[in-house]
Amino acid sequence: MIDFNRPHLTGKETHYIYQAVADGKLSGNGVFTKKCQQFFEERYGFKKCLLTTSCTDSLEMAAILCDIQLGDEVIVPSYTFVSSALAFVRAGAKIVFADSMKENPNIDAEKIEALITPCTKAIVSVHYAGVACDMDRIMEIAEKHNLIVVEDAAQAISAEYKGRPLGSIGHLSAFSFHETKNIIAGEGGMLCINDERFIRRAEIIWEKGTNRAEFFRGEVNKYGWVDTGSSFLPSEVIAAFLWAQLEHMDDIQARRKHLWELYYTHLSPLASSPNSLITLPSLPEYATNNAHMFYLVCKSLEQRTALIKHLKDNGIQAVFHYLSLHSSPYYMDKHDGRALPECDRYADCLVRLPMFYDLKDETAIDICNTIKAFFA
């Protein structure tokens, strides 16, 4: 069976973990945590980065920083992973779901403003497959209505919008280092703070509601419980693993982009045929491709189901992605009843192909040929 995903190891992960153990600092915020955070701050210009135990935790920190209260509304795309909404639900927010674009699964920025009410507090822009949302339009709307923008950049490491790194545009952003992402730590995430008014509080929330970090920097003569927070700080073992990945980021990204282009080239005839049997990923002019995933959009749920079965029968693990959150068992009765047809179309028709660093070129071509055989 050709797996959908296989975690890639650079070779230094266990070495750095051993080094962290030997240094006697395992509880987090040690040498490797600081190396990783500094890497992102210097390379991408994020004003402050804080590693977390997961992207979900980064979003929960963002919800606290947004000061979400019971009854506040947060606009979130329906076609996304549950964490994009759950973090704000846990803080008491009502989620107002937005539809996707016709061209790609990202939130349709032109439909956001109609969803804003006096209760709206924030907009969550999810960069699906590492492809940028229309951030200029989203930030324009946010500024007009005094809203906070949280970039869910879980899939968007090293991707750009008009030359600017994703995660550096909104007031806050969250990244993931889950084993299915480009750069991994098994589990792990990162909160990036781009608005300076949130930096001090973010660090306190990160340190379980204490000003401990300020104490260790000598900025206060003692530390105590000063705010809400939780244990969001990951262990140094996770940071050590992540550092081994970051040292090889350029190589990892280059390999994934090569595989993405290979898929696109070999499958383009199916998308450009007179009957246009499938739709391939669409990249807006303002976005770059970080090759987080390669997906196809089928014509119907029935076609997708048959294609996935055909691939499985030929030893290839291909998978669908999200179910629309507005129609989920948990939130269906809380949704306002609006139809979100593009979200539902992607939920029914999108299929993801195997994508990982160690996937061989010939294997990717075999996958393409198997798909072509299905449509022959």
Q: How far apart are CA 146 and CA 61, in angstroms?
A: 20
| Residues of the chain predicted below pLDDT 70 | none
Q: Are residues 29 and 176 in the same domain?
A: yes
Report whether 356 contacts 367 (CB < 8 A): no
Domain boundary among 216, 246, 276: 246
The domain of 84 spans 13-246
**Residue 97 lies inside a defined structural domain of this protein:** yes
**Residue 28 lies inside a defined structural domain of this protein:** yes
**Residue 93 lies inside a defined structural domain of this protein:** yes
> What pLDDT sits at residue 216?
77
> What pLDDT sits at residue 46?
98
> What pLDDT sits at residue 277?
86
Q: Are residues 305 and 355 in the same domain?
A: yes
- Lookup result for tokens 């929960």: 60
Q: How far apart are CA 104 and CA 1, in angstroms?
A: 29
Q: Are residues 108 and 161 in the same domain?
A: yes
The domain that holds 285 is classified in CATH as 3.90.1150.10
> What pLDDT sits at residue 217?
81
CA-closest candidate to residue 107, choices 96, 117, 118: 96
Q: Are residues 258 and 234 in the same domain?
A: no
> What pLDDT sits at residue 221?
80
**Residue 61 lies inside a defined structural domain of this protein:** yes
User: How many domains is the chain partitioned into structurally?
Assistant: 2
The domain that holds 237 is classified in CATH as 3.40.640.10
**325: which DSSP letter?**
G
Q: How many CB atoms lie within 10 A of CB 1?
A: 9
**Residue 107 lies inside a defined structural domain of this protein:** yes
Q: Are residues 208 and 329 in the same domain?
A: no
> What pLDDT sits at residue 173?
98
**Residue 5 lies inside a defined structural domain of this protein:** no
Q: How far apart are CA 251 and CA 210, in angstroms?
A: 39
Q: Are residues 210 and 128 in the same domain?
A: yes
Give strand ranges (E) for the chain.
48-52, 73-77, 94-98, 120-126, 148-152, 160-161, 164-165, 172-176, 189-193, 295-297, 350-352
Please, what is the Cα angle at 197 between 196 and 200, to 5 degrees? 85
**104: which DSSP letter?**
S
Report whether 279 contacts 225 (CB < 8 A): no
Q: Are residues 277 and 354 in the same domain?
A: yes
Type of residue at 313: D
Q: Under DSSP, is residue 300 helix (H, G, I), strand (E, B) or coil?
A: coil
Q: Which two tokens stand for residue 61?
A: 């920190």
> What pLDDT sits at residue 322?
93
Q: How far apart are CA 21 and CA 265, in angstroms?
A: 46
> What pLDDT sits at residue 350?
98
Q: How far apart are CA 43 and CA 54, in angstroms?
A: 21
Q: Are residues 299 and 370 in the same domain?
A: yes
Own/partner contacts of 213-222, CB < 8 Å, gap of 24 or more, are 213/29
Q: Are residues 264 and 329 in the same domain?
A: yes
- Lookup result for tokens 């970051």: 246
**Residue 1 lies inside a defined structural domain of this protein:** no
Q: Are residues 264 and 216 in the same domain?
A: no
Q: Are residues 185 and 42 in the same domain?
A: yes
**Residue 4 lies inside a defined structural domain of this protein:** no
pTM for the full predicted model? 0.97
- What spatial distance separates the first Cα and last Cα of the chain, rounded to whole Å? 23
> What pLDDT sits at residue 276?
82
Report the interhelical angle of 236-246 vs 249-272 (nearest 10°). 70
> What pLDDT sits at residue 140?
98
> What pLDDT sits at residue 178?
98
The string of pLDDT tens digits covering residues 318-376 is: 999 999 999 999 999 999 999 999 999 999 999 999 999 999 999 999 999 999 999 98
Domain boundary among 191, 219, 246: 246
Domain boundary among 246, 266, 281: 246
> What pLDDT sits at residue 209?
94
Q: Are residues 74 and 215 in the same domain?
A: yes
